Amino acid sequence: MHSLLVPQIPIDAPSPSELLQLPTGENGYHWILSDAERNHIAKMLDVEDKSLLTLRGSRMMRERATCSGCGKHSGLDDLVHNALYAGIHGKAFMLDVLVHGPKAGSPGHEITCSGCGSVHDGRFYWIPSLPW
């Protein structure tokens, strides 16, 4: 992955994830969106009316990770940051997904911390069949 822009953002500890029992018997995790994450996403996507971002969080196949570089917890803002600054998705597409939910399955993602640019270990998968 190429170098991504790393803005200065406030780092706060998010609420604990909610454990999900999936129909397959596997565990999933509902990452509750923090105010700092919501504000960071709104800023990146140029959303002035933050009431548009009504989602409570994202449903993932693993618990949040803590960045070894700066201590920020992985979050939806990192996924948005990575996709935007790597040129994978545009702002309008991502805002539509955040407002209306994911359109399809997604491959695993390597997450680069939007706080310092360190890469988290492992891959992160979201659960597209469940509502955000």
Q: What is the pTM of this model?
A: 0.85
d(CA 105, CA 126): 8
Sheet containing strand 27-32, strands side by side: 18-21, 27-32, 57-60
What pLDDT, on the 0 to 100 scale, is given for residue 120? 96
Specify whether the CB–CB gap between 79 and 102 falls below 8 A.
no
Number of helices (H), then strands (E), in the chain: 3, 3
Tokens of 121: 């270990």
CA-closest candidate to residue 76, choices 97, 100, 47: 97
What pLDDT, on the 0 to 100 scale, is given for residue 8? 58
d(CA 130, CA 65): 21
Specify whether the CB–CB gap between 115 and 67 falls below 8 A.
yes
Report residues of the chain scoring pLDDT below 70. 1-11, 128-132
Specify whether the CB–CB gap between 44 and 69 falls below 8 A.
no
What pLDDT, on the 0 to 100 scale, is given for residue 6? 59
What pLDDT, on the 0 to 100 scale, is given for residue 1? 47
What pLDDT, on the 0 to 100 scale, is given for residue 100? 87
Residue 58's DSSP bridge partners are: 31
CA 131 vs. chain centroid, Å, equals: 15
* pLDDT tens sequence across 21-36: 998 899 999 999 999 9
